[in-house]
Each structure stands twice: as structure tokens, then as C-alpha cells.
Amino acid sequence: MSNKTQRVQEWRLHVGAHKTATTHLQDTLELLRAELLCKEVDFISNRQIRALNLIDGGLKPVIRGRGWSLFRNTYPAQAFARYAISRAVNPLRQNATTVAISEENLLGDSRGLLTQTFYPDAAIRLKPFETLARSAELHIFLSVRSFDEIIPAAYAQVLKDKLFRPGTDISFEPIGAKFRAKSPSWTELIRRLRVALPSAHLKVWRFEDYLDYKSLVLTELCGVRVDCETVLPPPRLTQTPSHGAIKRMEELDSSLPIEEYQSAIEEIIKTDTDRGKFRPFTDEETRRLRHAYDEDLRELEETFPGVLLMF
């Protein structure tokens, strides 16, 4: 049987979140792709998956204008959704029947971390992937991070990617005010994902654990032992810049064409010599947000025992 037509027996999808070392994870697994293939796991690179843009682009040519109503809970709709996803991914596959994918944009873009309900459209966006569980094992992985760090990091990414509305006032203050008034919740997001993906095996790891246990995290994701002997440095363009760099980004002309804007962003990052990264919360606010994060993870473990990976 051709390696392009072998049926996928196991899907292992890492869906984010943004700013939880996803780029480092993707670069590491891409480097290890040949080694993983020897263990019957095919990691399809993030660049290939992003070119498909599975939710916002890659499936639409297959759907041919018939709309996302095809993904309703009826057998014909589910069969078609499964076919559409498989047809989009199959040309990228090698010879393994386990497929591993990491794409944080499946949840939405980084703006989804700047609302008090993290990734409000996540369930709708991921619902089509539930259909994969009808013919294979489906594993979904989510990485989480402390609120005091991920919110400023996501704001920086929104600036880098020019995801704000042109002509609007660009400032962290209204965003920070929302989270000072009420902390977000990873448990609430996971509850929505469990409803949207009831057949999936869902696992969550902490960004803080990825830093110390990369090999164990990647082993969980791929389902086979992964040894990270080659240590990749954190990608500079995805790191959170300094306060000064953020200020320069906020002052950029929002009417610039995207290519010029991104060139200006790269120059700001390249010349960012200030010490320390963007930390807009006070020490007291940081302590409160970290406490809320710890309490949220305790609630997660109590509500969904075994979902949070412990190392």
C-alpha cells in the first residue's frame, strides 16, 4: 500500500496555546522528523500545516462553498468533515500511520488570549476534528502558562502580527484593566474543549514544565520516546520584547503595508538592547495573577482528574 494512502490510525494534535514555547516545540520536532518516522510517527511541520490553514483556508476548497453546516452532528456531515481533513493533510504525510501536528492557530490567533474568556471561538473551530475519532484514536494536547506572563506575551505578539484594528488607540492599559478586575481560566477553556471533542483523549501541560522537561513533554505528545539531545535556543522573534520595544511598536504607523510593518517590527526586535521583558503588571498584581493560575490548575485537576500532566 502506498504511504500516501495508508489510513491514519492515531492523530496527535497539539493546539497551543500561543506563547507557551510552541515555536520551539515545533522547530525541535521538525528537526527530529526523520527519527520519529523510524518510530512510526510522522510529525508534519508547522510550516506545511500553516500553509494549509486548516480552519480558515485549507478545508474550504474541499468543502467547495457548502459551508461549515456540513460539520453538524449528523453521520453524512461527520463523514465529510473527516474526509476533508484527511484529504488536506494526506499529501503531506510520509509512511507512518500516527500523525502528529502542532498548530496553535487552530484555537484562534493570539488575540484569543486577550479576552477574559480565553479563545472564545475554540470549540467551534476545533469541533470538525472530533470527526477524526470515528476512524482513529484522537489525542488533543494543550499547553498553558501563568496569566501574568502569557497576557503580556500575547499582547506583544498581537503587535508583531498587526492584529489590531488600524486607526485604533494601541495600548495595553484597557487589556490590563480587564484582567485586574477578573482573572481568566484555563479550566473554563478545557471544559469547552471537552464538550466539543468528547471522543478525544485530552492532556494539558504547563509551559513552566516544558522548560524543565522537554523530552518528557514531547514524548507525551508523540506517544513514543523522544530524546532532545540537540538543544535549540529560543527563537528570538517570538520572545517577549522589552518595555521600550513595546512602546516603539505601539508608535508604528498602523497604515503601513504589512510587509513594511513587519520589517519595522524585525528592526525593533533586532535593536532591542533594553534589559528585561515587557512586564506591565505591578508586583502585587503579578502575585495575584500567579495565585489565580495556581488555583485554576487545582480546579482543573479536581474537575478533570488526570488531564493535567505532572512531571
Start-end of H helices in 90-234: 122-126, 147-161, 173-181, 186-196, 207-212, 214-222
Q: What is the pTM of this model?
A: 0.90
Going along the chain from its start, the domains and CATH numbers come out as 10-240+277-303 (3.40.50)
5 confidence band (pLDDT: 50, 70, 90) = low
CA 61 to chain CA mean position, Å: 24
Secondary structure (DSSP) of 224-243: S-----SPPPPPGGGS---H
More confident residue, 236 or 204: 204
Strand (E) positions, the chain?
Answer: 10-14, 41-43, 98-102, 137-144, 201-206
* Residue 167: per-residue pLDDT: 74
pLDDT in tens, 29-68: 999 999 999 999 999 988 888 777 665 544 444 444 444 4
Share of the chain above pLDDT 90, in %: 67
